[in-house]
A and B are shown apart, each in its own frame.
Chain A
Amino acid sequence: DADVTQTPRNRITKTGKRIMLECSQTKGHDRMYWYRQDPGLGLRLIYYSFDVKDINKGEISDGYSVSRQAQAKFSLSLESAIPNQTALYFCATSDPNYREGNTQYFGPGTRLTVL
């Protein structure tokens, strides 16, 4: 089984709808991240969390919110989706106690299309 899972894997929605993307991990890592990937722009950090009580904005947090329900779960919400939020979304984890502590372990991604 995959260590980092994301649901749904694909989603098509309409402008103005609320969408939640979910991420679960079995790696036991405290740190979790949400990124989006757009052609020509690379991966950009939306939000990150270093433990259950810690939530931080990344470089492009506007229009998004997150919830860290447990160590293993980190969800991303789009309160009112807009077309320029169409992208590939990745969840990732890391473990600072590991020798390569900055290594990011990515989930398989969620392809979101907002019409």
Chain B
Amino acid sequence: RKEVEQDPGPFNVPEGATVAFNCTYSNSASQSFFWYRQDCRKEPKLLMSVYSSGNEDGRFTAQLNRASQYISLLIRDSKLSDSATYLCVALGMAGTASKLTFGTGTRLQVTL
């Protein structure tokens, strides 16, 4: 089982729709979580951190459910420019060093 699992998609949604992605993680000791955005053939960029209480940044809302070990990302009022792959990332420990584990990503395609 992968440490961080995501539905690869693609999720095809019309402009203006609300779309949600889930991500599950297997290491219950994971400390922090993040969502990165990666455009086609480009580098990943941090979209937002995921806080225990949930957090919102404009049209984006991230939630963490430690009991069920999943993270979610909700995008409201989707824009064409939201089309990208969204990577779920968990921070844990590998020995004494922290370790980031990346999911394989969920692809979103927003259409007219």
Contact = CB atoms under 8 A, between A and B. Distances in A.
A100 B46 contact: yes
Given A43-B44, A106-B43, A107-B43, A100 B49 contact: yes
Contact of A45 (B34, B41, B46, B99): B99
A102 B100 contact: yes
A90 B43 contact: yes
Contacts of B22: none
Interface residues of B, number: 22
A109 B43 contact: yes
Interface in A41-68: 41-45, 56
Contacts of B105: 42
A40 B104 contact: yes
9 contacts: A41-B104, A42-B4, A43-B44, A43-B87, A100-B49, A103-B34, A103-B49, A106-B44, A109-B42
Interface of A: 40-45, 56, 90, 100, 102-104, 106-109
Interface of B: 4, 8, 32, 34, 36, 41-46, 49, 87, 91, 97-100, 102-105
Given A43-B44, A103-B34, A103-B49, 15 more contacts: A40-B104, A42-B103, A42-B105, A43-B102, A45-B100, A90-B43, A102-B34, A102-B91, A102-B100, A104-B46, A104-B100, A106-B43, A107-B43, A108-B43, A109-B42
